[in-house]
Amino acid sequence: MSPPIERSTPKLTRVVGALAEATGMRDAKLNELVRIGELGLLAEVLRVTGDRATLQVFEETMGVALEEPVARAGAPLSVELGPGLLGSVVDGIGRPLSALAAITGDFILPGANAPTIERAREFVFTSKVAVGAKVGPGDVLGTVPDRGGFEHRILVPPDRSGLIGKLFEGTRTIEAPIAELTDGTPLFMSHRWPVRRPRPIRARLDASRPFLTGQRIFDFLFPIAEGGTVAVPGGFGTGKTVIEQSLAKYAEADVVIYIGCGERGNEMAEVLHEFARLKDPRHCKPVLDRTVLVVNTSNMPVAARESSVYLGLTIAEYFRDQGYRAAVMADSLSRWAEALREIGSRLQEMPGEEGYPTYLASRAARLHERAGRVTCLGAPNREGSVTLISAVSPPGGDFSEPVTQSCLRVAGALWALDPELAHQRQFPAVDWHTSYSLYADAMGKALDASCDPGWTKARAAIIELLQRDGELREVASVVGPEALEDKDRLLLQVAAIAREIVLGQSAFDPTDAYSTPAKTFRLARAVLQLFDAGKAALEKGATFAELELSQARRALAMLRDAPEADFEARAAEVATRITTLWRGGPS
């Protein structure tokens, strides 16, 4: 019989920046949470060798000394999920910034701690089950009215089941039980879940529903499915933040999770300021009422930056499990990948391309796999979805760098932002030659059925027009536009109108910031009708100079800017302008 292994008290033996080592950790598990030092800094286990463990510290380690104690939590990094999350602003490990500010002031001090959900806040719980009912993982126990009238559904945690023995309705706090099983197990309005573990589902569903964004270039040319994934790479100044704000405001999502991962502090302050003022046009309520912001700026510890993306996805999955459509805006995955690279270099791991760890692609794939449209666990039957829109910031706008390529391998769509288009004041600055969507065929069929049967044909015609425009502009740059045939000059002009009227959109114009699928289709169809009318006029003997394209363009611009009440009248005016495109044509 072998002698028993002696257990020693865990204590620090080495500290290097955000990396620490401790002895007495023989039974420690990977990703287990610990508190280190007298300050109680939060950290997690990255590596175990014998009784020595390597720890990743989520906070600044300045002032930590050797031989200080290490306290094990016995569980991985988890987030508290329950009512009260909406409208909150939390850091990368789930601490609300407002509560931390009340404790430490303007700067977060090491060791500061605050629960994700306010303990004293009261909620009115209404039960949806009866005493004696059998409940299992994911069943809806009842509802709670949350911020802005949002119906928050209280779920049985995925690891609980049994018979309801007691119910406690009425005003309750997070710490008060709302039910009790016959075996004495209490059930609360909130529960904890490890951020790196995907929440369980009953089944995955096909991508058959469009995720409408209200942005014409996305809905029309590069649509994505509800529960889909899209990569949005772009350099500085290409409009990534404005696009994500527009999506948060207008996209057809019930809940928005905005993850500021490693972005500049002043930029995140601007995002917080803008989100507080944004109004949801569908419900006439503040966008913040259905938003959770996860903020981990570039001056915060790099370890928490890596965990912030997992935290945001876990919160999104929680709302998905309630039967809601959740949209995750991650800005940006490049900063998340840089955190992986820094942690890997401290662990002396074998570097891959450009110093990123060799497991970068598999980690990116694991993130994207957590998106999807699903059938939720529990009763009653319900469907939910998580749609992931991840911004990428490639250095120098180089899309061949490892992070962009890792995202493109697993994302279902690419919205490539071009700095040249941004300099030309073409917004959204999406390069229609580089961008693509693997959901286009399925979403086209859905929009043919729900919006107009001609949607798919109109999309194909506009894409063909833009492709031909790119070819002719290369020729025109050599020989000049006057040397082209009239039909080619017509195509160049109509393509320019299409770029301005259909693809261009102002995020700051109250009537143009959001475009319904019907309006988007009418504008695209009008541009195609203009092209057909021009070709017909040329065939009848008109010259390019005789075509009244400027008047038609002004009429299309009026249609684009028309409010809903005037849209039909403006559409009739556009039709008239197109039919009288040539003086020799119909009167």
Task: Give the end of a domain, one of 397, 412, 440.
Answer: 440
Task: Give domain status of residue 83, yes or no.
Answer: no
* Cβ-based neighbours of 12, under 8 Å, separated by 6 or more: 20, 21, 22, 36, 37, 64, 65, 66, 67, 68, 69, 70
Please give the pLDDT value at position 271: 77
**Distance of alpha carbon 338 from alpha carbon 335, whole angstroms:** 5
- Of residues 107 and 24, more confidence is placed in 24
Length of the chain in terms of residues written? 587
The 3-state DSSP composition of the chain as helix, strand, coil percent (nearest 5) reads 40, 25, 40
Quote the number of domains for the chain.
4
CATH number, domain containing residue 402: 3.40.50.300
Task: Give domain status of residue 96, yes or no.
Answer: no
**Mean pLDDT (whole number) for 233-255:** 86
Could you read off the pLDDT of 79-107 as tens digits, one per residue?
999 999 999 999 888 999 888 888 877 77
Task: Give domain status of residue 479, yes or no.
Answer: yes
Task: Give domain status of residue 466, yes or no.
Answer: yes
Could you read off the pLDDT of 146-185 as tens digits, one per residue?
988 899 999 999 989 999 999 999 999 999 999 999 999 9
Q: In what order do the strands lie in the sheet with 32-36?
A: 11-16, 19-23, 52-57, 41-49, 32-36, 70-76
How many other CB atoms sit within 10 Å of the CB of residue 477?
A: 9
Cα(first)–Cα(last) distance of the chain, in Å? 106
How far, rounded to the nearest angstrom, does the alpha carbon of residue 391 sit from its chain's CA centroid?
A: 8
Task: Give domain status of residue 315, yes or no.
Answer: yes
Do 146 and 16 share a structural domain? no
Helix H, strand E, coil C: the string for 427-440 is: CCCECCCCCEECCH
**Distance of alpha carbon 112 from alpha carbon 105, whole angstroms:** 11
Do 340 and 237 share a structural domain? yes
**Distance of alpha carbon 69 from alpha carbon 56, whole angstroms:** 16
The structure tokens listed for 123 are 């909620």
Do 398 and 289 share a structural domain? yes
Do 217 and 343 share a structural domain? yes
The identity of residue 169, as a single letter, is: E
**Mean pLDDT (whole number) for 48-73:** 90
Could you read off the pLDDT of 68-85 as tens digits, one per residue?
999 998 899 999 999 999
Do 219 and 185 share a structural domain? no
**Distance of alpha carbon 365 from alpha carbon 352, whole angstroms:** 17
Number of alpha helices (DSSP H) and beta strands (DSSP E) in the chain: 15, 28
Task: Give domain status of residue 114, yes or no.
Answer: no
Task: Give domain status of residue 287, yes or no.
Answer: yes
Task: Give domain status of residue 97, yes or no.
Answer: no
Distance (Å) of CA 29 to CA 7, 45, 46, 314, 346: 16, 7, 9, 21, 20
Do 236 and 351 share a structural domain? yes
How many other CB atoms sit within 10 Å of the CB of residue 66?
A: 12
Residue 153 is inside which H or E element, if any? strand 151-155
Distance (Å) of CA 285 to CA 149, 276, 288, 514: 10, 11, 8, 16
CATH number, domain containing residue 501: 1.10.1140.10
- DSSP string for 308-361: HHHHHHHHHHHHHHTT-EEEEEEE-HHHHHHHHHHHHHHTTPPB-GGG-BTTHH
**Mean pLDDT (whole number) for 505-514:** 86
**Distance of alpha carbon 335 from alpha carbon 343, whole angstroms:** 12
CATH number, domain containing residue 164: 2.40.50.100
CA angle 360/368/435 to nearest 5° reads 95
CATH number, domain containing residue 37: 2.40.30.20
Q: Work out the pLDDT band at 133, boundaries 50, 70, 90.
A: very high
- Of residues 270 and 74, more confidence is placed in 74
Do 270 and 318 share a structural domain? yes
Percent of the chain with pLDDT over 90: 61
CA angle 239/242/243 to nearest 5° reads 85
**Mean pLDDT (whole number) for 124-134:** 94
How many other CB atoms sit within 10 Å of the CB of residue 464?
A: 10
Task: Give the end of a domain, one of 189, 220, 239.
Answer: 189
Do 508 and 380 share a structural domain? no
Do 416 and 296 share a structural domain? yes
Task: Give the end of a domain, one of 440, 466, 483.
Answer: 440
| Full domain range(s) for residue 21 | 11-76
The C-alpha R_g of the chain, in whole angstroms, comes to 28
Do 141 and 55 share a structural domain? no
Do 341 and 395 share a structural domain? yes
Q: Which residues of 313-336 are buried (b: 16+ CB within 10 A; e: fewer)?
A: bbbbbbbbbbbbbbbbbbbbbbbb
pLDDT for 586 beyond 70: no
pLDDT for 477 beyond 90: no
Do 233 and 172 share a structural domain? no
Instruction: Specify the 3-state DSSP secondary structure of 99.
Output: helix
Please give the pLDDT value at position 485: 92
